[in-house]
Structure 1
Amino acid sequence: MPRSILVTTIAAAVVAGLSSGVSAAEPEQQSRQEAFAAAADEFGVPESVLLGVSYLESRWDFNAGTPSTSAGYGPMHLTDIEAAGGGTHHDDGTEDPRGDSARPTLLPKAHETDVSAPPPDTIDDAARLTGVDAATLRVDPAQNIRGGAALLASYQRDLGIASNSPAEWYGAVARYSGATDTGAASAFADEVFTTIRDGIERVTDDGQRVRLPATPVSPNTTQVTRLGLRVTQTGEAECPRGLGCEWIPAPYEEFGNNDYGNHDLGNRPEAQKINYIIIHDTEGYYEPTLDLVQDPTYVSWQYTLRSSDGHIAQHVKAKDVAWQAGNWYVNSKSIGLEHEGFAAKGTWYTEAMYRSSAKLVRYLAAKYRIPLDRQHILGHDNVPGTTPATVRGMHWDPGPYWDWSHYFDLLRSPFFSTGTARTGLVTVKPRFETNTVPFTGCDKIGSGNPCPVRGAGSVVLRTEPRDDAPQLKDIGLRPDGTPGTMDVADHSSRAETGQTFAIAERRGSWVAVWYLGQKGWFHANDGVWSIGFVITPKKGRDSIPVYGRAYPEAAAYPTGIPAQTVVPLQYSLPAGQEYAAGLITPSEYYWAVTYDTTNHTVVRGETKYVQIQFGHRIAFVNVDDVDVRPSFL
């Protein structure tokens, strides 16, 4: 099928953007492939093992010398927290994670826990083993690969194993993950050896073609028992086999005055269908984030994923409702996944975490019959505010550096063209590696300082079909009516990979879509043509309201349960405009405001809503206000 492909590389942009002045690609005399071969030979590591480990950490990318979400640098993900620094706190901002106006607002608060506490470093050991200083290991891809090879070789020596067979390197690979438990270490090593068996080839973010030929191998998995790791406590974790998930429960506790935390018990999917999986980032490192979710007075989510090895911990059962997305309607119908990382730091997410997350989401989607598309797999940044007052305070993670295209490839549901330029819809799909959007504020939101030059999944929408035209306006995020900015946290005029919009106009190489009641332009080669359904206001309506939650009408509430006001957001949807339709959903409200679950009730109404892609976030419209039709008519 036709796919949107850009053929340029970002090597020149990366070189221009590196403050250190170090080139993004190796010297001409040694390619990335040759660097792997040379390092493998120098340190006696099977080349397939070195390539497999590097792919699972970084996909062989250099990432412009910037750190990953867990402070790892370069193709081998050598960690150096001192250079990378910490991030913002998970509890910054004004979002009420519960998002239920029937209960007291749960406001952000300071925690004694340091959520920026780092993982252990590996770069110092690599420097000692290679004789190359840490600064060079961070910015020189070839030396970084040498450092990773030296670490693997040292782990193999510690195991007392002398063998050139890749099958005998399972224990060293498992240790390289940095995991502290057997399940996580084994899951990482299993994925590396699956990659070795399957083989893979790709062009990296800095234009280097690297190939790992398919290599039959049956690794000696018993070696993991020799690493001295704790045995994984799987407990009640709900995960597919092979992921090594552990059960670290969030507390459900009562603390007087009818107050309790940090989630609500439920009976899903019997009582309520689970429609969504929400992708978050932690805004902190893994271990301190676990402390947050175990605070009985505060927030919760279902799963936390570690960056370095993709390890998963579950905290809240899928049947129960976590306080995670800032919108009670979405919370009550979703499962939340927190990924170790920082949305605003210009950092990158590891392949190990992408793969674990995709396996988990595929499992959950199959179990709860959740379609694998961007109408159901949402970023936290796609969740709407509940009322006009909450829109501005909603969180915006996982941010533009989350690679939705690659993630959906791993979900086995890739984005591709399903229509033509005449079928009415376009799905955003820039090439992540080459889409170097000039964001600012990665050092501090609002600073105006350029972010690291690296790939992103966003496209910026313009009021006219030219690159220097003003951005659109989002009166919810910027009530003063000023246009959107390039600040990394400002998605006033920004569409994200996988989101589908109704086409408003085409002009040359540009396409305009309907967005927050406006016409927004972007380059057509940053999308693929699609087909589906659209909504438009019913004839005779000048405009219709849009909502942030699909609540029932007042008459649906039984005695004893106060009716929740159906409050329109500050936007409107004018006549003559069309928006891509997602699911059509009945109205629901989960009444759960007490620790005692005996009076918890799911209220269902006669009203039905259509979920639409309204702006960067989704929204809901009353089905009685709109006409729904195929996009090509």
Structure 2
Amino acid sequence: MPRSHRPTTALLTAAVAFSLAVAAPGAAADPGPADAQRQHAFAAAAAEFGVPESVLLAVSFVESRWDFNAGTPSVSAGFGPMHLTDVAAAPPGTEHDQGADPRGDEARPELPPRANPVDVDSPALRTLGRAAEISHVDSAVLRADPTQNIRGGAALLAQYQRELGAAGSGPDDWYGAVARYGGTGTESTAFADEVFATLRTGAERITDDGQHVRLPARTDLRHRPGAPNDPQTECPAGLGCQWIPAPYEEFGAGDYGNHDLANRPDSQKVDYIVIHDTEGSYDTTIRLVQDPTYVSWQYTLRSADGHVAQHVQRKDVAWHAGNWYVNAKAIGLEHEGFAAQGTWYTEAMYRQSAKLVRYLAHQNGIPLDRAHILGHDNVPGTVPSTVAGMHWDPGPYWDWAHYFDLMGAPFRGLGNAPTGMVTIRPDFATNQPAFTGCTAAGVPCPARGSTSVILHTQPDANSPLLTDIGLHPDSTPGTMHISDHSSRVETGQQFAVADRAGDWTAIWYLGQKGWFPNPRSNPAAVSSFGFVVTPKPGLESIPVYGRAYPEAAAYPPGINPQAVTPLQYRLPAGQRYSLGLVAPSEYYWAVTFDATNHTVVRGNLRYYQIQFGHRVMFVNVDDVVVRPS
């Protein structure tokens, strides 16, 4: 498992006590109402270091949404509302502990897993130490005390302004310093543009620790956001996308990599956008995607500022999802981060990613829902032997609800109306499942918000979890280990209601009835409407599949038919599962460097994609009937 080392609870407590006892520089004498202390801290730090208060507020919002995150680090070792980075206190992890072949196509040799070495010497990961020197506050205090963290960020921002020799007191005069802050020492115009866009619109929210913070909108700004994209990139205007191509090269005995040329959408419709995390630093990830013997994806996003690099044209097929059917019909986005660390993803990255996904969805006619915008953890194994090895990123701490809000596609429902379908939608901040294994097996993970909802065999929190025979072939119940999603659903996913009992709701899941608490006062799901599939009358159960491949007769001479192999699960009679999309039977034969030989095989078989468990799966259209939920 990936490992990390964080300040212990004792250290954090001691640090906060120390900061209060010695009245660290800039400590506020009168912070005002309890829920206004953070607002006061921004005003005081801005005045102390000569930074426009609105600029300081906007920078912090784009980094962290003003949250403290319980003093735990982000995926790029950033602490506190100002995202001051300290890699010594929170070194990144290494890689996923599973080793599924990213290409997921038996017609090609399997790509073995590879360790991802992590860069730890970048100045981008050490801004907290510099802020400590400038603000004359101990590093441990900057990590543990949000007020002092804000002071440290203000001091660093003011230092960048001095180094640039910039003059002026208005927000526009601070664009260069903001760009340097977002790039953690180098300039990031994408970050600065997002900060100035936030200044223009304003923001207001209650933070994760109950602080009410407000940034009034500014209508007097001269700067107009809009970083230019490299001409080869396919990004929305103003995102500042960079072209760092993945190599299409032949090597060895006719082998090649690290993606396949295609002509989508003319050759195949793009149905999916797959969200990954990198399990390595941004710099390491960029090196890996430039290795012709390795794997590929279309885009990489950097945590600190949301910077976007594109590597593979969206017409071509990248090797990333571990399922060739999905790869052939998907665009892959890698986000700098570590699924098992229990850390948080930056607002800058969420915002840039949401803009990119909204653009890509519009360009390809992809609906903005969780049947089409998949996490890597929602992609099914191809055949029974690959199920257990599939990756599970971006993990339970990726905030799907906030992400879709940013895309303008929030998960709305019908409230508490007793319909036959629910959309999973817990409150992210207060929904804190007791996961283990973020740092070591059996060790509790930090308590933090999550989009995951845990399922039980009975309407009782003490009852066992459900069983996923793909992950636990011995039929033992699932666990709360961070990577074990045997009995776990995610925000935005839709399931057919199986039963209700008091404050508990049951759904159909992997052929079982799974219960979760769903009280009206704090619901974990909202009622919704859609279509469901159920086995045709007379069938006791039907098979489910990990890919929608054609029948053998559809393959032309010279192309070996791919097996239509059911997974180890069955869908029993009487159960219902949410219909996501109609999946045509297709197989993209691409096993040679010469792309003129590539062929899309299409069959007469038709499939429905359903939300069968944590992952989507496929059923044969001829085996089921479709009904309103």
Q: Pick the aligned partner of 1:359 from 355, 374, 385.
A: 355
Residue deviations 1:451-496, cap 9 Å, x none? 1111111010011111111100001011121111111111000000
**Counterpart contact for 2:118–2:281, Cα < 8 Å:** no
> Does the alignment pair 1:213 with 2:216?
yes
Between the two proteins, the alignment pairs up a number of residues equal to 603
**Counterpart contact for 2:76–2:125, Cα < 8 Å:** no
Distance verdict in 2 for CA 1:219–1:346, change over 3 Å = farther
| Correspondence for 1:240 | 236
**Counterpart contact for 2:496–2:578, Cα < 8 Å:** yes
Cα deviation, residue 283, structure 1: 0.3
SS at match of 2:82: coil
Moved segments of 4+, more than 2 Å: 16-30, 113-120, 159-164, 179-182, 219-222, 418-423
* Rounded Cα–Cα distance in structure 2 between residues aligned with 1:146 and 1:533: 53
Distance verdict in 2 for CA 1:56–1:117, change over 3 Å = same
> Does the alignment pair 1:285 with 2:281?
yes
SS at match of 2:62: helix
Counting only pairs closer than 5 Å after superposition, residues 334-373 of structure 1 correspond to structure 2 as 334-373=330-369
| Correspondence for 1:49 | 55
Residue deviations 1:576-614, cap 9 Å, x none? 100001101210000001111121000001111000000
* Rounded Cα–Cα distance in structure 2 between residues aligned with 1:391 and 1:533: 27
Cα deviation, residue 194, structure 1: 1.2
| Correspondence for 1:21 | 13
> Does the alignment pair 1:510 with 2:513?
no
Distance verdict in 2 for CA 1:76–1:18, change over 3 Å = farther
> Does the alignment pair 1:40 with 2:32?
no
**Counterpart contact for 1:302–1:316, Cα < 8 Å:** yes
> Does the alignment pair 1:269 with 2:265?
yes
> Does the alignment pair 1:383 with 2:379?
yes
Distance verdict in 2 for CA 1:19–1:128, change over 3 Å = closer
Cα deviation, residue 43, structure 1: 0.9
**Counterpart contact for 2:533–2:624, Cα < 8 Å:** yes
Query: What amino acid maps onto 2:502 in structure 1?
Result: G
**Counterpart contact for 1:88–1:116, Cα < 8 Å:** no
SS at match of 1:280: strand
Cα deviation, residue 214, structure 1: 1.2
Counting only pairs closer than 5 Å after superposition, residues 96-245 of structure 1 correspond to structure 2 as 96-110=101-115, 114=118, 119-178=124-183, 185-220=188-223, 234-245=230-241
SS at match of 1:434: coil
Distance verdict in 2 for CA 1:297–1:374, change over 3 Å = same
* Rounded Cα–Cα distance in structure 1 between residues aligned with 2:506 and 2:120: 41
Residue deviations 1:328-375, cap 9 Å, x none? 000000000000000000110000000000000011001000000000
Query: What amino acid maps onto 1:186 in structure 2?
Result: T
Query: What amino acid maps onto 2:602 in structure 1?
Result: R
| Correspondence for 1:12 | none
**Counterpart contact for 2:229–2:235, Cα < 8 Å:** no
**TM-score with structure 2 length normalisation?**
0.93
Cα deviation, residue 504, structure 1: 0.2
SS at match of 1:432: coil
| Correspondence for 2:90 | 84
Query: What amino acid maps onto 2:159 in structure 1?
Result: S
**Counterpart contact for 1:17–1:452, Cα < 8 Å:** no
Query: What amino acid maps onto 1:321 in structure 2?
Result: V
**TM-score with structure 1 length normalisation?**
0.92
Identity %: 67
* Rounded Cα–Cα distance in structure 2 between residues aligned with 1:161 and 1:250: 39
SS at match of 2:435: coil
* Rounded Cα–Cα distance in structure 1 between residues aligned with 2:601 and 2:258: 22
Counting only pairs closer than 5 Å after superposition, residues 481-560 of structure 1 correspond to structure 2 as 481-524=475-518, 525-560=523-558
**Counterpart contact for 1:87–1:116, Cα < 8 Å:** no
Residue deviations 1:159-212, cap 9 Å, x none? 223322112111111111016776xx2221111111111111111111111111
* Rounded Cα–Cα distance in structure 2 between residues aligned with 1:353 and 1:144: 21
SS at match of 1:607: strand
| Correspondence for 2:27 | none
Cα deviation, residue 116, structure 1: 6.2
* Rounded Cα–Cα distance in structure 2 between residues aligned with 1:207 and 1:376: 34
| Correspondence for 2:4 | none
**Counterpart contact for 1:188–1:309, Cα < 8 Å:** yes
| Correspondence for 2:458 | 464
* Rounded Cα–Cα distance in structure 2 between residues aligned with 1:249 and 1:115: 21
* Rounded Cα–Cα distance in structure 1 between residues aligned with 2:473 and 2:382: 16
Query: What amino acid maps onto 1:401 in structure 2?
Result: Y
Distance verdict in 2 for CA 1:117–1:257, change over 3 Å = farther
Cα deviation, residue 217, structure 1: 3.1
SS at match of 1:83: coil
Distance verdict in 2 for CA 1:233–1:418, change over 3 Å = closer
**Counterpart contact for 1:282–1:340, Cα < 8 Å:** yes
More displaced stretch, 465-474 vs 213-222: 213-222
Distance verdict in 2 for CA 1:302–1:528, change over 3 Å = same
Distance verdict in 2 for CA 1:260–1:103, change over 3 Å = same
SS at match of 2:601: strand
> Does the alignment pair 1:591 with 2:589?
yes
